[in-house]
Amino acid sequence: MSSAKPKTKIKTKKEDAPVNAEVDVYSLAGKKTEKFKLDPAVFAAKVNKSLLHEIVLMYRANQRQGNASTKTRGEVRGGGKKPWRQKGTGRARSGSIRSPLWRGGAIVFGPRPRDYSYYMPKKMRRLALVSCLSAKLKDNEIMVLEKDPELKQPKTKEVAKMLGALKAYRHRILFLYSKRDENLLRSCKNIENLRVKACEDFNAYDVLSNSKVLFSRETHDAIVKRVKAKE
């Protein structure tokens, strides 16, 4: 008889465990109405932490103005006359009061205006977007609405009331929309922790720099369509 070794179960890490893509759907009054399954290919994918680190570095580098500037000894005003003669004074020889060794002089190897921006391939940016959305779902930081608020006129009070009902008013929120509504955009302008972006314009840095992501079921379909679109 052959002595077969018992099969050992491979323990999976908590990070690699499958994520439940079902989330609660909230009404504008903050009540749970039903369950909604997010697209697992977009919201339940594997989180690539190293890629997220790279994408954050890129977006932050692209935000730099790059206008820090210092002057070399050829650009500092003055210093054309030799302070004292070369020999005979007992002091160290010197040719200009604008030498980098002097107070008020030039700067050696100082910063110069430059462009810090660079870009990553589209596939990497898309994968980073999927990773950060999946990370948000894993941390229970995605909220889905039944529908977008419909306002007849700009009313900041109505949007603030909705956020209060969702218990999200004190958090940094990224609100995504699929159809542009000027009344809604104006109503959100004066709320400090609320950032509003179109579903075709937001990026991975927008998701990571906010605590919660808020969108409607209709916007969910638009996000999935954007991510899965072929180049």
Residues 206-215 pLDDT 10s:
999 999 999 9
pLDDT tier, 17 (very low <50, low <70, confident <90, very high otherwise): low
pLDDT tier, 145 (very low <50, low <70, confident <90, very high otherwise): very high
Is 111:70 a contact under the CB 8 Å cutoff? yes
Distance of CA 110 to the CA centre of its chain: 30
Mean pLDDT of the region 48-69: 95
Distance CA 32, CA 140 (A): 15
Mean pLDDT of the region 79-101: 94
Average pLDDT of the chain?
Answer: 89
* Tally of CA atoms within 13 A in the half-sphere of 215 that contains its CB: 27
Distance CA 125, CA 204 (A): 8
Mean pLDDT of the region 184-213: 92
Q: Which two tokens stand for residue 111?
A: 């910063």
Mean pLDDT of the region 141-149: 91
Res 150: pLDDT:
87
pLDDT tier, 15 (very low <50, low <70, confident <90, very high otherwise): low
Distance CA 61, CA 56 (A): 8
Angle at 14 between CA 58 and CA 138, to 5 degrees: 55
Q: Please enumerate in sequence order all residues whose Cβ is within 8 A of that of 182, keeping only pairs 6 or more positions apart, or say none.
A: 154
Q: Which domains does the chain have, with CATH numbers?
A: 22-47+121-228 (3.40.1370.10)
Q: Quick one: the chain helix, strand, coil %, rounded to 5?
A: 30, 15, 55
Angle at 198 between CA 136 and CA 160, to 5 degrees: 75
Mean pLDDT of the region 42-66: 95
Strand partners, 35: 24
pLDDT above 60 for 5: no
Res 11: pLDDT:
47
pLDDT above 70 for 12: no
Res 170: pLDDT:
83
